[in-house]
Amino acid sequence: MPDINLTVNGATRAGSPEARKTLADFLRDDLDLTGTHVGCEHGVCGACTVIVDGRAVRSCLMLAVQAAGSEVTTIEGLAPDGELGRLQQAMWDSHSFQCGFCTPGFVMQATAFLGDHPDAGEQEIREALSGNICRCTGYQSIIDGVLLAAERSRKE
């Protein structure tokens, strides 16, 4: 089993995952970062989305060994001091989520997207989130939350 070093939420982490272990399972099982959720395990649902080297990726479609040397941000990395970030607060205020299973994937995808497109409008946000599946909300409240975050960032 290859030894790997990577940065997760700003901290250096090491591990010796089997080649077949996905980044999602490595984060959850080896690093105890269970905020990353595993839904379909074949790249359809988006629940396991994390940010690797600045890009949103599906951590179930990436091997842990492939993350060696990378900078990974998970949902745990968005509020390290226990205070909600702008996006999280806007989604809270918009009642964006219900059961919460898809939440980390949506939040990570939206974080990556707003980072690159702070002026995004509704259509662009819908497009950016189109690969994430939610069975509860009907999506409107999620879109509302991301739009509210974008609006607040423009006012600051």
Partner 1 sequence: MKLPPVGYEAPKTADEAVDLLAEHGDEASVLAGGQSLIPLLALRLARPEVLIDINGIDELAGVSAADGWVTIGAMTREYVAEESATVAGAIPLLAAALPLIGHEAIRSRGTIGGSLAHADPAAELPAVARALNAEFVVRGPAGTRVIPADEWFEGYLTTSRQPDELLVEVRFPAAEAGTGVSLTEIARRHGDFAMVGLATSLVLSGGVISDARLAFAGVSDVPVRAAAAEDLLAGQLPSAELFDEAARRATEDLDPPADLHGSSDYRKKVAAAVVRRGLRAAADNAAGGSD
Return the number of the residue (2 or 138) whose C-beta is nearest partner 1: 2
Return the number of the residue (25 or 144) whose C-beta is nearest partner 1: 25
Residues that bind partner 1 (CB under 8 A): 2, 18-22, 25, 41-43, 46, 49, 52, 55-58, 60-63, 65-66, 109, 112-113, 127-128, 130-131
Give, in order, the Cα–Cα distances in Å from 79 to each of 24, 30, 84, 87, 88.
20, 21, 6, 11, 9
Within 8 A by CB and 6+ apart from 17, the residues are: 1, 2, 4, 26, 30, 63, 64, 65
Closest distance of CB 46 from partner 1, Å: 7
Return the number of the residue (40 or 79) whose C-beta is nearest partner 1: 40
Closest distance of CB 83 from partner 1, Å: 27
Q: Residue 110: name the closest of 95, 93, 132 by CA.
A: 132
Write the DSSP assignment of 105-136 as a string of letters: HHHHHHHHHHHH-TT--HHHHHHHTTT---SS
Closest distance of CB 58 from partner 1, Å: 5
Return the number of the residue (84 or 131) whose C-beta is nearest partner 1: 131
> What is residue 78's DSSP assignment?
S
Closest distance of CB 17 from partner 1, Å: 10
